[in-house]
A = this chain, B = another copy of it.
Amino acid sequence: MISKIETYSFSVEPFHVDFTGHLFLGVLGNHLLNAAGRHSHNRGWGIDQLNERHYTWVLSRLCIELEEMPAQYEHVEVETWVESVMKLFTERNFLIRNADDGRVYGYARSVWAMIDVDTRHPADLLALKDGDILRYVLTADEKPCPIAKHGRIRVSNQVPIRTISTYYSDVDINGHINSVKYIEHILDLYPRVQYEMHRLRRFEIAYKAESHIGDTLAFCWQPSEETLADGLPAVEQIEVRKNMEETGTPAGDVVVQAKLVWE
């Protein structure tokens, strides 16, 4: 039987690093999603295989916590496995390490649902393919993922600190703003000095609704009271709302929530 763990390798390309020489978090997110796709595909659960049955995977949450971000030209290996499967959700974890010396950069957690492409209703993961997915589960005891699970994100502030338009490059093959682009737009809220002075230790994102090309995205921001040595907030929560004041609800629908932990 095929291993329960898929290993996915990549190198940190010159155009994929930020001004500090470290991999953009959005690019890392893209690699994690590729690793997930490879794992699913090689076990008969890939989107291409599921589409024939009119199902597709939908990313619900992603959480990345790193001791260190891979640097330019480094070789990286991502291990990914399924930690649990419930009726409507499955938890997939990631270990991110240096391929040459084996040191662990960090871990990631994700939560996925499967939906029917036509009805947009969630599918029962345990009923599909006679519960085949359970064959691939590696419990937390068998393969630990030593970072906290996703927490609840609450942003009461509804005054955006930035509103942007969305364009051609933001949109994926389904016509939706792609998961990675939200990460980029959130990190773009910060000035250069933030990245000179601080490192993003943990990044959590929850995908709540879809947005489309031409939608405006408003970023509402809520800092923690806890601060870093220089007085900047240690933890920040961000809520992204689409078409504020244009939809029926004055505040606009929440499409994405994120939480950033700096050090």
- Chain A residues within CB distance 8 Å of chain B: 13-15, 17-21, 24, 26, 30, 33-34, 37, 47-48, 72-73, 167-175, 178-180, 184, 187-192, 195, 213-214
Contacts and interface: CB of A to CB of B under 8 A. Distances in A.
A59 to B, nearest CB: 11
Contacts of A19: 168, 171-175, 213
Contacts of A18: 168-169, 171-173
A173 B48 contact: no
Contacts of A184: 169
Given A17-B173, A48-B73, A192-B213, 19 more contacts: A13-B30, A13-B34, A14-B37, A14-B173, A15-B30, A15-B33, A15-B180, A17-B172, A18-B168, A19-B172, A19-B175, A19-B213, A21-B173, A24-B169, A167-B188, A168-B188, A168-B190, A169-B188, A192-B214
A72 B47 CA distance: 12
7 contacts: A19-B173, A20-B173, A24-B169, A26-B169, A72-B173, A168-B192, A169-B187
Contacts of A170: 188
Nearest to A16: B30
A192 B176 CA distance: 12
A203 to B, nearest CB: 14
A187 B15 CA distance: 18
A24 B171 CA distance: 10
A26 B184 CA distance: 16
Contacts of A26: 169
A172 B30 contact: no
Contacts of A175: 19
Contacts of A189: 167
B34 A172 contact: no
Interface centre among A15, A179, A195 (most CB of B within 10 A): A15
Contacts of A24: 169
Contacts of A213: 19, 192
List 10 A-B pairs, minimum CB-CB distance, nearest first. A167-B188, A169-B184, A19-B175, A19-B171, A15-B30, A21-B173, A192-B213, A169-B188, A168-B188, A17-B173
A211 B213 CA distance: 27
B15 A172 contact: yes
